[in-house]
């Protein structure tokens, strides 16, 4: 096969005659012209049915890298609905599963293969109706897939040709290791297995040994010198804790014509800041976090995907794998728990071929050591400077908290959850609760007097 040569010339159109013309037609309709590095390096092996471990930074085009060969190979096998499930794609989050499903639907526009999204948060009865019709490509989260696999009357995968473990490091981080082991025991051994991950650590290697054949192809596009893509401009800003809200207000004004994601440490903090900025500052904000219903999460995600500009307030539920077009800025309002999470947050911008992005993380003066910590993980930040934020926004917030009972309750919950997240941060030498002035932190939520905190001792303060 001379697919390698074709891909190296960096044009999907040159696959003409090598993959099904209807699949090529779908790629053209989706405006995919040039493959990314991970696609160019992995497609030749995947089209030949080889097992692969693929390491690539977030935003590098891994989804298309596995979907194109999966669909092409199922076409070659002559799959129809009566053959049942030919491929299972396991995703760590519902949002990533939804995104993969949407891409697969577009690729299958002119192809007689069926695909379905099977995730938690949806009624199982709906899943069963889909599965009984015969689904060729299942895109699922591990827990929900295992539920159905354990009932052979609902789902059997006797004809399975391919298993994809997408964002394998995140699958393991989110506690799905036991689920995946049980799923592997219920799937045929004779299959192609594709494992993609942003990072390859010892846990991912152990999963690969369990899931893949003894001689998988290892493909990596990760730059050893830098852990984030080179088209990303990233920096940090030193901001006293009590000036955070005015700074964010000014920043959102600065990027009002752009598409921006703002990361918070907790669901309650997202809810409070969303209410304040949406209702009282009239900012074009939408929100997404793990405590929202699946339908609300799906709706928020879809609105932001289709928006040309606007702001998404979110937790790390949106930090992995989501391919949201044209995100211009990533703002890390609260610190990530580790460098991996930092990398995945900023990976929501500068995605794909020939695209740029910007990112900034807000740090207190006592937290600047985090910049040096990131350097050791091959993440390099510039120090940014901004004009002084407007004081009237802080005055407005404090006035609202004094007079608006609903917002005050929301602010108190957000404040306490912020402190809990801070207290439990793994990097305690940098994010040390003892160095945090609780009264000034309360001011960041609009309180003139600090709410009672019963889980931090006076000695800790």
CA nearest to 170, candidates 148, 195, 150: 195
How many whole angstroms separate alpha carbon 154 and alpha carbon 201? Answer: 35
Q: pTM, whole model, 2 decimals?
A: 0.62
How many whole angstroms separate alpha carbon 145 and alpha carbon 84? Answer: 15
How many whole angstroms separate alpha carbon 181 and alpha carbon 204? Answer: 13
The answer for residues whose C-beta is within 8 angstroms of residue 397's C-beta and 6 or more apart is 245, 276, 280, 446
- On the question of a common fold for 3-220 and 232-443, the answer reads yes
Question: Element (H or E) spanning 69, and its range?
Answer: helix 62-76
Numbers of helices and strands, H then E, in the chain:
18, 14
Give me the phi and psi of 105, to 5 degrees please. -60, -40
Work out the mean pLDDT of the chain and round it to a whole number: 88
Q: Tell me the pLDDT tens digit for each residue of 266-291.
A: 999 999 999 999 999 999 999 999 88
Fold of 232-443: Rossmann fold (3.40.50)
Q: pLDDT tier at 354 (50, 70, 90 boundaries)? A: very low
Q: Tell me the pLDDT tens digit for each residue of 147-170.
A: 999 998 889 899 999 999 998 988
**Amino acid 224: pLDDT:** 55
* Strand partners of residue 196: 54
Percent of the chain with pLDDT over 70: 92
Q: For 47-83, give one letter per residue: b (16+ CB within 10 A) or e.
A: beebbbbbbbbbbbbbbbbbbbbbbbbbbeeebeeeb
Task: Name the residue ranges covered by the structural domains of the chain.
Answer: 3-220, 232-443
- pLDDT higher than threshold 70 for residue 3: no
The answer for residues whose C-beta is within 8 angstroms of residue 345's C-beta and 6 or more apart is 261, 263, 316, 319, 330, 332, 336, 359
Average pLDDT of the residues in 182-190: 94
**Amino acid 195: pLDDT:** 95
- Of 47 and 232, which is predicted with more confidence? 47
Question: Element (H or E) spanning 39, and its range?
Answer: helix 37-47
How many whole angstroms separate alpha carbon 283 and alpha carbon 274? Answer: 9
Q: pLDDT tier at 113 (50, 70, 90 boundaries)? A: very high
What's 3-220's CATH class? alpha beta
- Of 189 and 57, which is predicted with more confidence? 189
Which DSSP category does 169 fall into?
H
Q: Return the SS3 of 240.
A: coil
- pLDDT higher than threshold 60 for residue 352: no
Q: Return the SS3 of 105.
A: helix
- Of 96 and 192, which is predicted with more confidence? 192
Average pLDDT of the residues in 384-398: 90
Neighbouring CB atoms inside 10 A of 395's CB total 12
Tokens of 448: 């003139």
CA nearest to 348, candidates 374, 383, 324: 324
Contact between 415 and 271 under an 8 Å Cβ cutoff? The reply is no
């Amino acid at each position: 096969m001379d697919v390698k040569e074709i891909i190296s010339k960096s044009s999907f159109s040159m696959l003409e005659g090598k993959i099904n013309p209807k699949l090529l037609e779908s790629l053209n309709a989706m405006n995919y012209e040039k493959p990314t590095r991970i696609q160019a390096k992995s497609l030749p092996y995947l089209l030949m049915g080889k097992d692969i471990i693929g390491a690539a930074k977030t935003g590098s085009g891994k989804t298309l890298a596995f979907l194109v060969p999966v669909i092409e190979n199922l076409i070659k096998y002559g799959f129809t609905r009566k053959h049942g499930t030919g491929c299972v794609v396991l995703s760590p989050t519902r949002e990533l599963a939804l995104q993969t499903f949407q891409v697969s639907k577009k690729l299958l526009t002119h192809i007689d293969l069926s695909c379905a999204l099977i995730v938690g948060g949806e009624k199982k009865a709906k899943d069963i109706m889909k599965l009984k019709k015969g689904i060729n490509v299942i895109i699922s989260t591990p827990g929900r897939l295992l539920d159905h696999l354990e009932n052979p009357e609902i789902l059997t995968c006797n004809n399975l040709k391919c298993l994809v473990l997408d964002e394998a490091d995140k699958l393991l981080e989110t506690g799905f290791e036991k689920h995946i082991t049980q799923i592997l025991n219920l799937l045929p051994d004779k299959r192609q297995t594709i494992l993609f991950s942003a990072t390859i650590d010892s846990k991912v290697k152990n999963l690969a040994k369990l899931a893949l054949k003894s001689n998988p192809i290892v493909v990596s596009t990760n730059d050893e010198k830098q852990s984030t893509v080179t088209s990303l401009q990233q920096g940090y800003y030193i901001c006293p804790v009590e000036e955070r809200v005015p700074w964010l207000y000014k920043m959102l004004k600065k990027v009002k014509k752009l598409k921006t994601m703002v990361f918070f440490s907790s669901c309650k903090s997202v809810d409070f800041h969303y209410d304040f900025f949406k209702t009282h500052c009239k900012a074009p904000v939408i929100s997404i976090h793990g405590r929202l219903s699946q339908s609300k999460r799906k709706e928020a995600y879809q609105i932001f995907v289709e928006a040309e500009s606007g702001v998404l307030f979110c937790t790390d539920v949106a930090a992995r794998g989501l391919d949201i077009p044209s995100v211009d800025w990533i703002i890390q309002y609260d610190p990530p728990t580790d460098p991996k999470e930092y990398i995945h947050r900023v990976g929501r911008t500068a995605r794909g071929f020939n695209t740029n992005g910007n990112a900034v993380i807000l740090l207190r003066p006592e937290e600047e050591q985090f910049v040096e910590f990131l350097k050791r993980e091959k993440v390099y930040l510039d120090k940014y400077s901004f004009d002084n934020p407007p004081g009237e926004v802080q005055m407005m917030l404090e006035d609202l908290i004094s007079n608006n009972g609903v917002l005050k309750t929301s602010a108190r919950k957000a404040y306490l959850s912020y402190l809990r997240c801070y207290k439990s941060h793994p990097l305690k030498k940098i994010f040390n609760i003892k160095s945090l002035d609780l009264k000034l932190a309360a001011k960041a939520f609009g309180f003139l007097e600090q709410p009672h905190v019963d889980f931090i001792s006076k000695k800790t303060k």
